[in-house]
Structure 1
Amino acid sequence: MLIVIGGLPATGKTTLARLLAARTRGVHLRVDTIEQAIVRSGLARHPVGPVGYVVGYALAEEQLRQGHTVIAESVNPLAVTRDAWRDAAVRAGVPVLEVEVVCSDPDEHRSRASSRSVDIPDLPLPDWEQILGRDYEPWHRDRLVVDTAGQQPEDSLGPLVEAVLRADRG
């Protein structure tokens, strides 16, 4: 199955995706990693535009066709990006679970944004003002919303694992 995890920066997407990948033995595709590899190649500079997502869709579909569970993690800010992930799952003939990770406490979200560290060399992290000013379209279809405010990552993971098990059963 394809599990698409989106949400604004500093909400906990990467942490949850890594925990879920370890729990499910799924393939974790992180668009930040793809985009930074493209920048390191010298072919582009930040922001790279849609290329990181397009590469991600192709990698996800290939891994899905090989029978792997894929956890695709990115901001996923636009309906067109959300549709493209879903289309990759449809083409591969697998179910898709869409997840939006939020941090409903603005003070906690801001604190996370200012205190997190870079785990991908030379990846520029957005500051709080850039996070607030980012284009992020509202979701207009069903998805699992995971609110990480005031929780440890393992606590936020519980509802996500339950939803994956339900979706996998069909």
Structure 2
Amino acid sequence: MARPKPVITIPSGPDYGCSSFQHFVDSASWRPHQGPNSSLSDSGFPATTSLPFSKISGKTENCQCTVMAFLRYSGKYNQVIMSVPRPFLFIVSGLPGTGKTTFARALAAALEACHLNSDAIRTELGLRGVYSPAIKQKVYQTLLHRTETHLRAGEVVVVDATFYREELRQPYLALADRLGVLWQWIELTAAEGVIRERIAEPRPDSEANFATYQLVKRQYEPLLLPHLQLSTTDPPIDALVQLTLNHWRALTSNS
């Protein structure tokens, strides 16, 4: 008989945020002896509970990372998600409107990975609408720091940002090299007409409009490092995720 898939339950509520979840993890109230009516797998870990992501407000991506860290701390990460041979870094780059966040979120979901997004970090830091070089550097440095934290925890991490300049790209490669982590760089493209339509629609964290796209396009430095380039103009996101996963499996199986 297949072992029940262990998942987690936490108290739910309309304002159940990341800090509350972190407190829940730190309090160790998830342990089996705390819930006499819990259904347990043969490993002694709760088997029939659920984590209400829909109830988590605020920094959803950071919450997802916290969940992954908790599962690894519990010792049941590989049972809950999948066997990952090592930490792995996916970096998703491209011009505004190419679908970076949509793709990165789908890729992270497929791998139950940690997804980190530059626009969400900018919003979290209260820096929306401020695009000076110093502020951009602060956003990318925060993104880099969080990437390192989750890689050191042994997680698969999906980072998405424009990465329009080489000087913004190199620190992530240096980080992967320093930690001995394999990486895959993915550059997304799309037809300009499609991009114009996409960025005309409001998006939760992105402030980019077509003028922003045109400005970044002029400043965008060619990506010269080895990378997988995917067009999001026509193919469904699921197909692009599958292409990426096939390449990822080839990289990890041959390493």
- Cα deviation for residue 155 of structure 1 reads 2.1
Aligned-partner residue type, residue 15 of structure 1? T
Match of 1:128 among 195, 210, 215: 210
Stretches of structure 2 that go unaligned for 5 or more consecutive residues are 1-87
Match of 2:194 among 98, 108, 118: 108
Residues 49-71 of structure 1: CA deviation (Å, up to 9, x unaligned) = 21111011111111111100110
Aligned-partner residue type, residue 81 of structure 1? L
2:112 matches 1:25: yes
Q: How far apart are the structure 2 equivalents of 1:112 and 1:152?
A: 15
Could you tell me which residue of structure 1 aligns to residue 99 of structure 2? Answer: 12
Could you tell me which residue of structure 2 aligns to residue 46 of structure 1? Answer: 130
- Cα deviation for residue 156 of structure 1 reads 2.0
- Cα deviation for residue 111 of structure 1 reads 1.1
Aligned-partner residue type, residue 149 of structure 1? T
Aligned-partner residue type, residue 99 of structure 1? I
Match of 2:247 among 152, 156, 163: 163
Q: How far apart are the structure 2 equivalents of 1:160 and 1:132?
A: 28
Aligned-partner residue type, residue 208 of structure 2? P
Larger radius of gyration: 2
**Hey, which bits of structure 1, 4+ residues long, moved more than 6 A?**
none
Residues 20-58 of structure 1: CA deviation (Å, up to 9, x unaligned) = 111111110111111111126xxx851122111101111
SS at match of 1:162: helix
**Bigger relative contact order, structure 1 or 2 (CA pairs below 8 A, ≥6 apart):** 1
Aligned-partner residue type, residue 27 of structure 1? C
- Cα deviation for residue 76 of structure 1 reads 0.8
Q: How far apart are the structure 2 equivalents of 1:87 and 1:130?
A: 29
Q: How far apart are the structure 1 equivalents of 2:249 and 2:204?
A: 29
- Cα deviation for residue 159 of structure 1 reads 1.3
Q: How far apart are the structure 1 equivalents of 2:230 and 2:126?
A: 31
Mapped contact 1:61–1:88 kept (Cα < 8 A)? yes
- Cα deviation for residue 94 of structure 1 reads 0.7
Give identity over the alignment, percent: 23
Mapped contact 1:28–1:72 kept (Cα < 8 A)? yes
Q: How far apart are the structure 2 equivalents of 1:75 and 1:5?
A: 8
2:177 matches 1:90: yes
Q: How far apart are the structure 2 equivalents of 1:38 and 1:167?
A: 35
Could you tell me which residue of structure 2 aligns to residue 140 of structure 1? Answer: 224
Aligned-partner residue type, residue 127 of structure 1? N
TM normalised by structure 2 equals 0.60
Aligned-partner residue type, residue 158 of structure 1? Q
Stretches of structure 1 that go unaligned for 5 or more consecutive residues are none
Please say which of residues 155-164 and 28-37 is displaced more in the overlay.
155-164
2:154 matches 1:59: no
Q: How far apart are the structure 1 equivalents of 2:125 and 2:250?
A: 36
SS at match of 1:39: coil
Could you tell me which residue of structure 2 aligns to residue 119 of structure 1? Answer: 204
Q: How far apart are the structure 2 equivalents of 1:167 and 1:3?
A: 12
